[in-house]
Every structure is written in C-alpha cells, then in structure tokens.
Amino acid sequence: MGVMNAQATMATQTPATVGEHASFLAHIKQAEGALTQRFVNKLKVNPDLDRTLVSFQANKIENEHRWYKYKEGFSAPLVRYLLSNVGPKSGRLLDPFAGSGTALFCASDYGVESVGIELLPIGAEIIQVRRLLLKADRGNIAQDIRSFIRERQWEKVGPLEPFHHLRITAGAFPKETEYALNRYLYEVDRIKGKILRRLLRFAALCVLEAISFTRKDGQYLRWDYRSGRRTGGKPFHKGPIAAFGQAITEKLEQISSDLTGGDLLFPEIVETEKDASVELLVGSCLDILPNLPGNSFDGIITSPPYCNRYDYTRTYALELAMLGTDEEGIRNLRQTMLTCTVENREKQTLDAKFPAALFEKARDAFQSQVLLSQVISYLEGCRLDGSINNTGIPRMVRNYFLELALVIFECARVLKPGAPFVMVNDNVRYQGAHIPVDLILSDIAEKAGLKVEQIWVLPKGKGNSSQQMGAHGREEARKCVYIWRFKG
C-alpha cells in the first residue's frame, strides 16, 4: 500500500464547525487519560534531570561544545548520565540523529564504539572535524594556527573567495565584513595541510552568526534592522555585530589554546585503552537504517527533531551556504529530513525504502494509535474550517509520527536482545490539543517489540506559546527521556 493511502484513512471524521472543537478536544483528553493510565507506572519524575542538563544549556559550560554552539544537540553531561545508568557499557552504540555527535564521542570515551547517522551538513561537519582531531598532532596544529594568526595574510589586499549566498542569506553581512571573510577564505584555501585548512575554515563557520545581521530563533533566522530587510513587527536589534578580524582571531586563539590546554576541549580524545572508534554515515536515517545489519548494536541513544515546526535548513542557512549547499540542495534537504516543519511534503516513495513486512507493521502501529488518530482528525478539521494558523500542521504531525514509527521499528530490528533504546523528545500542543509524544511513541515502541522500562519526566516542563495560552489556556508540556529495551 502506498503512503498516501495509508495516511488517508487517518482522518475519516473531522470537526465541521468551530462549535464542535470543544467536543473533539474533550474526546482527545479522554483518550490521553486512558493512554496515561496505561503508562502511569512508567512515568517517573527524575530529580537528577533538569532542562539545563537535557538541553543545549548544559553545553555552554562544556568546553568540547564551545567552538560551534549547536543548539539542537543534547548535552554531554546527559549522555554520560545515560551511559552510566542505562548503558550500553560495551559494544556498539547507534545514534540515528547524530546532530553534532555528542552521543558518539561520549560513547567513545567510555570505550563503546559508535555509529552516527546525520543528514544536515553542519552537524556532519562538526563530527568530521572532531574525528580528524582524534588522531592528529594537536600541538603542531596549534602552533600552525598561531603562526597563521601572526601573519594575518587575510588582512592584506589580495584575491577573494566569494561567499556563495543562498537567497535566504543574501545581505547577511556588512560589506566590510563580507570582504574580510572572502579574503580569509581565499588565504585558507592556499594552506597545504589538509587538517589545518579544514580547521581554519571551520573556525570561520563558527563565527558566521556573530559577524552577521542574523540570529537563530527556532523556526527561522531573525534579521537585525540594520540589514535593511523589512521583517514586519517590532524592529529587531541583535546587539553588537562582531567585526570579522576580531571574531576570527578570538576563535582561532580559543581553538589553539584548547588543543594544547590539557584536553579541555576534547577529553575523549586522550589516548587511553578506553577510546573506541567513531563512524559517521552521512544521509537520512530513513535511507540508511534499512541497510544496516540486524542485531548489530548494543544500544541506541538519540534525540530526533521535535515536532515543533523548526526548519533547520533556515536557521542554519549561513552555515549550509558556506558548506556549499545550493538552492536545490536546500530544497532536497528540507524534504529529505524527518518531517518536523510545515514545509515538509509527503514522502511519496517512503514505502519503497523499507522491507514490505516491516513497513506494514510500522504503518499499522501508526494507524492504530487511537489518540494520534483523534488528534490528526481534529487538526485536519481545523484546517478545513480555517481556524488553524498554518494549514501544514496536520500534515506535519501525521508524517512525523509515521516516519518515527518506521525509525523505531528499524531501530528495534538492528538492536541486540536486551539492548537499551534511549530517546529524548518533547511533547507539543497545537490548536489546544496536547500531543503526548512520549506516550504515543512508547505505544508504538511496544508494537515494535520494545519494552517500556521508564519514561523519565523532567521536574520542570515546558510552557506553550503565548498564542496557545491566549486561545486555550496555559498547560505545561512534559519533557521526557524514554528508556526502552529490545526484548528480542
């Protein structure tokens, strides 16, 4: 059966009028109560976890994350906590949404081999640079970086390497900044050493946001009013915009200092008997997972994109442009990644990527989830009556859970019996309907042969948007870490 037919059965009944919304929300609340009761003994508030430990905030004090601040990555302290308390303690770890590689490198430090899958080029670049430094002579590289700083060839008049902008990034830098950046890139490309050259380019990647008119802000790039772009509403002022010379010098000095500063940056690359290999597979886990051998991993720790409308191809557009992604590449990335934004379309050939039997089981698990079916029907009705603020939300929610169901079934297939599967994710709310992602995915996980051991709940949840609060009242959403285990 094609994906479109599989999805069409999900919205057989929808609210026809605004007056029926309250009734639908009541039914959704009732179904959520029943599902909560089923997992009530698994939901446990874990006082060891808080939002700063689970999120990017913890990485602000982690030196290994301070070169490039990848905000979507979960924290190294959390991964260490999971490895210590849940495992695996040996063998091979898989992260199908590797991000900046936190789980991979923490596992390596524990002597666990790791394999990561990452689609977004900026995440893959961070991982690949860190892998290069695992075996490099850091002392020599640090000396070469300091020599490069002293010579400051990029500040002299000379040829340029143009920054190849995307439409979304055009005009992102002050003119003098872009000129300095282009001079720097030209001089870096003349460096003979491959590792040094890549590290110097990576340093420029790390300062793009600081030297630009932009700031990453969840679903999009915010533009400072000084850019001349009219973005509507109140003019945005991001504060000081760093000059390129100052920004790149500080970043290069930071990198050179960390490389020789007693393993401050990469504690896991100290050569000990524990260190294990780190492998990166670049692409979508929807394409790569079906080709991995079964029963081949001793654990999974991952954090997929949340169902929160964040479009990483927009927020990381500057970095993607510098890494050579063109307009077609951006469109392909957006449609290839796990559906998490309203701009994602139907993946028409999704069923062809997976073995027929596994696809049917995952699709059936998705379709038979009662609460999810009711949520999708309700959101579809809101789309039809025009009450929802973006017509792509029902499609996004539907495809998000179908695709994650396939990921969960494939992950169960590649796990060894008894292996842990840990997922970090957030619950969400749309049009007044609370979507307990933790419970829905745990229900699907059980159908994939996984045992739900615990759903660790953070002591403090997440508030909903001001728009949601104004229309539907304040309701805190759980933030959770799911602990599943493959029964085999």
Residue 216 pairs in a beta bridge with 221
Task: Measure the CA–CA gap between 345 and 343, rounded to whole angstroms.
Answer: 6
Give the list of residues 6+ apart from residue 454 with CB closer than 8 angstroms, or none: 42, 44, 482, 483
Report yes or no: 271 and 226 within 8 Å, Cβ to Cβ.
no
Closest CA to 380 of 30, 34, 7, 26: 7
- Model-wide pTM > 0.75: yes
Closest CA to 81 of 121, 42, 52, 122: 52
Residue 279 pairs in a beta bridge with 115
Task: Measure the CA–CA gap between 75 and 65, rounded to whole angstroms.
Answer: 9
3-class state of residue 220 by DSSP: strand
Closest CA to 282 of 123, 119, 101: 119
Task: Measure the CA–CA gap between 443 and 393, rounded to whole angstroms.
Answer: 22
Report yes or no: 452 and 420 within 8 Å, Cβ to Cβ.
no
Strands 428-430 and 433-435: antiparallel
Give the Cα-Cα-Cα angle 221, 225, 230 (nearest 5 degrees). 75
Report yes or no: 182 and 161 within 8 Å, Cβ to Cβ.
yes
Report yes or no: 239 and 214 within 8 Å, Cβ to Cβ.
no
Report yes or no: 405 and 339 within 8 Å, Cβ to Cβ.
no
Task: Measure the CA–CA gap between 95 and 128, rounded to whole angstroms.
Answer: 15
Please give the single-letter amino acid code of residue 482. Y
Question: Element (H or E) spanning 114, and its range?
Answer: strand 113-118
The structure tokens 């780190």 sit at 278
Dmax (CA) for the chain in angstroms is: 71
Task: Measure the CA–CA gap between 193 and 148, rounded to whole angstroms.
Answer: 12
User: How does pLDDT run across 136-175, given as a tens digit for each residue?
Assistant: 999 999 999 999 999 999 999 999 999 999 999 999 999 9
Residue-level pLDDT at 469:
42
**Sign (positive or negative) of CA dihedral 141, 142, 145, 147:** negative
**Residue 253, both tokens:** 């000095």
Task: Measure the CA–CA gap between 66 and 10, rounded to whole angstroms.
Answer: 44
CA distance from start to end of the chain: 28
Residue-level pLDDT at 130:
92
What parts of the chain have a pLDDT lower than 70? 1-19, 51, 55-65, 231-232, 262-275, 461-475
Residue 480 pairs in a beta bridge with 425, 457
> Helix H segments across 163-259?
175-188, 194-211, 244-259
Residue-level pLDDT at 71:
76
Please give the single-letter amino acid code of residue 125. E
Domains of the chain: 3-119+283-304+342-466+474-486 (3.40.50.150), 138-259 (no CATH)
Separate counts of helices (H) and strands (E) for the chain: 19, 12
Residue-level pLDDT at 6:
41
Give the Cα-Cα-Cα angle 220, 345, 341 (nearest 5 degrees). 30
Give the list of residues 6+ apart from residue 167 with CB closer than 8 angstroms, or none: 327
3-class state of residue 16 by DSSP: coil
Asked if residue 293 has a cis previous peptide bond (ω within 30° of 0), the answer is no
Please give the single-letter amino acid code of residue 213. F
User: How does pLDDT run across 68-105, given as a tens digit for each residue?
Assistant: 888 777 789 999 999 999 999 999 999 999 999 999 99
Chain length of the chain: 488
Residue-level pLDDT at 462:
61
Long-range pairs of 132-140 with CB within 8 A, sequence gap ≥ 24: 132/195, 132/198, 132/199, 133/195, 133/199, 133/259, 133/266, 133/269, 134/266, 134/269, 134/275, 134/278, 136/195, 138/259, 138/260, 139/259, 139/260
Report phi then psi at 85, rounded to 5: -100, -25
Report phi then psi at 379, rounded to 5: -65, -35
